[in-house]
Structure 1
Amino acid sequence: MSTAAAGATHPTYGNWRRPRRAGLGPFGLVGTVGVFGGLIVLLLISLASLVAALVALIPMGLLLLPLIVRTQDGRNLYQLLALRVGWFRRKAKGAHVYVSGPLSHRPGGRFHPPGLLGKVDMAEGRDAYGRPFGVLHHKGRNLYTIVLGCEPDGGSLVDPDQVDVWVASWGDWLARLSHEPQLKGASVVVETAPDPGTRLALEVLPQIKAGAPAVARAVMEEVVESYPSASSEMNTYITLTYGIPDGTKRGIEEVVTDLAIRIPGLLAGLIGAGGGSAAPLSAEHIAEVTRVAYDPEVAPDVLTARATAGGTGLEWADAGPASAIETVGAYHHDSGVSRTWLLTLAPRGTVRSSVLRGLLEPTSGTRRKRVALVYRPIDPATSARIVEADRRAAQFMATSGRGMVQARAASEVRAAEQTAAEEAAGAGLIEFSLMVTVTVDSADRLPDAATAVRNLQASSRVSMRAADRMQAAAFTCTLPLGVLPWENVMLPRELQEAL
């Protein structure tokens, strides 16, 4: 959750914080229950034999010790072990290799997207203004996703007051997501890539007259050839994923009609937040974005087809790669190799509105780059419980510590009090994370891409780690297709938080 600090000319933002985990110290709720349960068992055993109690203490300590050791992003040794076991199981079954098309063993002989998108279907409807929009149906979770495309206004040559208004409007739009019925999650995906020059060539070259002077013709042709090397294309997508109320059966037509009614209001909020020209993406456009992500070499062909024929006619069943191989630290797909990084620590302290500008701008030496901000809105009733529990935990830590620990806890109390006051005044509470996917031409370019991402982390004041042993799933989550990480896990989210 972010708030604007007092500042007339240079407003700052911050106060995002990770909710405290219930439990004793680093153990978490499950570990705390195990500690107290183990103590009770040891006391009962000691009544019979002290030696037996000492012997039982050794395996009990070995079971609880991995819960204490945690990484920077809060994962314990059991979670790291589960990640490695899952990777070895997928590799043993050959699930890390994907082959599609007419010569594959998959039924239908088409190029359906792999992995988490294997059970996704596409439908299409029209909103109140008659614009077509695609609806992705995640059948495994019974979720429905719409994708909105926008062209945000740039921050260059814009007054700071206007930027402050945009940020406030964006925060208000995010806060309203908590009141959106059955909304499970949202994401903002900013995709950058070198400009292939296709649109410029199609616009300029046909305008050159046959009898034009040779010098003028040479100048225009040189501009068309050299200009794209110093420019880039940037696309921004907003995805909104909805669920179905428990015990309710609704057909796809009814869901599409419901979403068609909501789209105009959502677009109006985006335009007010500096989103520029915003419109829903059609089913064909969504398939094209997916196809280009898996095979970057076809991007110029897609742009040419859009400009000359008005579209490609691509269907969702043919938007996937012909082949894909997942390794520990990379994801190889058709003409590209990708690596994804996950957020471990948000910018500490207060920041300005341009804190992520360097991360969002194009990066030289990469084929494509996607930065995905993933949001999980929390309903008002749950928000009140979270902020009050966090406030009580911060007050307890402040009164039980000493010296430097107490000073840091006092700062936590002030932040928790501010969050509680803002929530009581009507502000929304929302969980967020950030993911970055960089696609290069070959695996030899990955070290250079990793160095570039590390430099961008420093300028954006964020800490990230590579999504090793889950690169395929992380790659899918950065696509503007509404795949929510917390909806695709084996353990319930409540149990994961308790660990």
Structure 2
Amino acid sequence: MSTEAAAVHPTYGNWRRPRRPGLGPFGLIGTIGVFGGIVIDLILSLISLQITLVALVIQALLLLPLSARTPDGRNVYQLIALRISWLHRKAKGSTTYVSGPLSSRPGGRFPPPGLLSRVKVSEGRDAYDQPFGVLHHRSRNLYTIVLGCEPDGGSLVDPDQVDTWVASWGHWLARLSAEPGLRGASVVIETAPDTGNRLANELLPRIHPDAPPAARAVMEEVVERYPMASSEMHTYITLTYGSPQGQKRKGDEIITELAIRIPGLLAGLVAAGAGSAAPLSAERIAEVVRVAYDPAVAGDILDARAQRGGTGLDWDDAGPAATVEKANSYQHDSGVSRTWMLTLAPRGTVRANVLRGLLEATPGTRRKRVALLYRPIDPATSARIVEADRRAAQFMATSRRGMVQARAANEVRAAEQTAVEEATGAGLVEFSLMVTVTVDTDSELDDANTSVRNQLAGARLSMRPADRMQAAAFSCTLPAGILPWEYTLVPREVREAL
């Protein structure tokens, strides 16, 4: 690309998958096992050759599963653990959920299931006296606030303005690494076919009784046909906080502190092209979750908000009446969903509109949510990670004889650029992406799967279905602050060593 073309259409990139420590595909634990096995074999060889051969066979059986990995980096032990966990949950009956007055659950209400079952919602008011909901994840002692915004979009916008928005978004993400107690953030873009209720509620009451029949017919036809070719899009940003350094603090103190932070966070979002932004109230959060589990009530909720100013929906009634988790799908009230998880980000550089096709509404689906998950890294840890990647890239490039391979040279340049950017104040953020598509019946999932695969190809993304964990993955794409790395049984450090 020429310099003039690059200036008109800027590109972005330089994201890198964290380098796994250890020897080749073994990881740190596998590498320790390999060298430990060598030492044991040397000691046993002094005793008996037969015992040494038996030890070698046992070591090979234990270590070879660590070297066989899927494209997304999982080894055989992790795949076996996932299947065992799935079979255990099926045997316990935890893959089926029933709530309501006729269920065995106390209270006779409809609380959200799974990872959201222990969430308690309260409400506060920010500096502008706007109500905002706070979700308390009691199992992890985390607090989540949800911000709603209406992005301006990139249509008919100059490339210079788009580049400014991207830079401002990068500054906003870098600022998150300095937020005290912040554990993670997510951006959820939800699209769905327009129900037509908002247009009908705005237009039909304004038709004058004495209007000509022709004009009345035209307006009624607009109300009837317009939703067939339109869609609605909502953007939510969640920020999840924990107590700094493990300190136990009261809920009122946390809410007061979050209320002080909200105006600054909103100002940064507006500068990044998020349009009008405001925190979501507890009632609004409950409505979003309710519609996600039962898409058929979306029109009723819009009618209630237009006619009475609100629904009065409480968090304890935002869940489904019944759900059934299958190996490759998740059935809930009036919808069936499937979730995909990112395995490989686009290689090289991309344009600012690389995700546009994936974010747009998909024909034939009830709802679609694209969730970008971010885990900000504090500046001290960022410096250590960047320097470690830089040294590893230089070692890999200089350890080969002859000419340096092109990929190794690119690794060195990317590591050097990352080190320079981090040293000048840029933040380091781990990110991932999840996509949830909801349809009416199981038979429509195959068509939705084909549509999503086509959109992923256009976005240069590699993703896989979240098989045998569809219920948890569904919860992660909701604007409820579920951070996957906070809910794993194996500590994050151990998983990285595997």
Name the SS for the 1:74 alignment partner: coil
SS of alignment partner, residue 27 of structure 1: helix
Instruction: Say yes or no: does 1:454 pair with 2:453.
Output: yes
Query: Under a length normalisation based on structure 1, what TM-score does the superposition of the two structures give?
Result: 0.98
For the residues of structure 1 that align with 2:405 and 2:162, how far apart are their CA atoms? 37
Structure 1: runs of 5 or more not aligned:
none
* Cα distance between partner residues in 2 of 1:118 and 1:290: 13
Displacement of 1:478 in angstroms is 0.2
What residue number does 1:362 align with? Answer: 361
**Hey, what's the Cα distance between the residues in 2 that align with 1:254 and 1:6?**
52
Q: Is the 8 A contact 2:41 2:52 kept in 1?
A: yes
8 Å contact kept, 1:342–1:434: yes
Q: Which residue of 2 aligns with 1:217?
A: 216
**1:331 maps onto 2:302 in alignment:** no
Taking the aligned partners of 2:349 and 2:17, their CA distance within structure 1 comes to 15
Alignment match, 1:113: 112
Distance 1:128 1:402 in 2: 63
2:374 aligns with 375
Which SS does the other structure have where 1:317 is aligned? helix
Aligned pairs for 1:23-172 (under 5 A) are 23-172=22-171
Q: Distance in 1 between matches of 2:335 and 2:409?
A: 49
Question: Structure 1 residues 336 and 405, CA, compared in 2 at 3 Å: closer, same or farther?
Answer: farther
**Cα deviation digits, residues 327-381 of structure 1 (max 9, x gap):** 0000000000000000001011010100000000111000000000000000000
Q: Shift of residue 198 of structure 1?
A: 0.3
Deviation, 1:56, is 1.3
Following the alignment from structure 2 to structure 1, what is the Cα–Cα distance between the partners of residues 74 and 325?
23
What displacement does 1:52 show?
1.4
Counterpart Cα distance in 2 of 1:192 and 1:289: 12
Change (3 A) 1:286 1:404: farther
Matches of residues 52-451 of structure 1 in structure 2 within 5 Å? 52-402=51-401, 406-451=405-450
- Find the aligned partners of 1:32 and 1:56 in 2 and give their Cα distance: 17
Deviation at 1:404, TM superposition (A): 8.4
Distance in 2 separating the partners of 1:247 and 1:121: 20
- The code of the aligned residue for 2:438 comes to T
| Aligned counterparts of 2:220 and 2:169: Cα–Cα separation in 1 | 42
2:491 paired residue number? 492
CA distance in 2, matches of 1:145, 1:119: 13
Q: Report the counterpart of residue 481 of structure 1 in structure 2.
A: 480
Q: CA deviation at 1:90?
A: 0.4
Separation in 2, partners of 1:402, 1:320: 61
| Structure 2: distance between partners of 1:206 and 1:200 | 10
Structure 1's 197 and 406: CA in aligned 2 closer, same or farther, altered over 3 A? Answer: same
8 Å CA contact retained: 2:358, 2:459 = yes
What is the letter of the counterpart of residue 24 of structure 2?
G
The one-letter code matched in structure 1 to 2:257 is D
Q: For 1:165 and 1:208, locate their aligned partners in 2 and report how far apart those are by CA, in whole Å.
A: 43
Following the alignment from structure 2 to structure 1, what is the Cα–Cα distance between the partners of residues 400 and 484?
Answer: 36
Q: 1:398 touches 1:406 (CA, 8 Å); kept in 2?
A: yes
Moved more, 210-219 or 32-41: 210-219
After superposition, the C-alpha distances for 1:128-158 in whole angstroms (9 at most, x for unaligned) are 0000000000000000000000000011111
Identity of aligned residues (%): 75
Q: Which amino acid aligns with 2:75?
A: N
Q: CA deviation at 1:482?
A: 0.3
C-alpha contact (below 8 Å) 1:400/1:406 kept by paired residues: no
SS of corresponding position for 1:48? coil
TM-score (norm 2): 0.98
**Number of equivalent positions:** 495
Q: Deviation per CA, 1:193-212, whole angstroms, max 9, x where unpaired?
A: 00000010011111112222
Taking the aligned partners of 1:99 and 1:382, their CA distance within structure 2 comes to 44
Q: What is the distance in 2 between the residues matched to 1:166 and 1:396?
A: 37
Q: Deviations over 1:51-100 (max 9, x none)?
A: 21012111110100001111111110111111111100000000000000
Structure 2, unmatched stretches of 5+, are none
Offset at residue 6 of structure 1 (A) = 10
Residue deviations 1:290-349 (CA, integer Å, cap 9, x gap): 000000000000001111100000000000000001000000000000000000010110
Distance 2:5 2:195 in 1: 44
Deviation (angstroms), 1:401: 2.5
Is the contact made by 1:399 and 1:406 (CA closer than 8 Å) also made in structure 2?
no
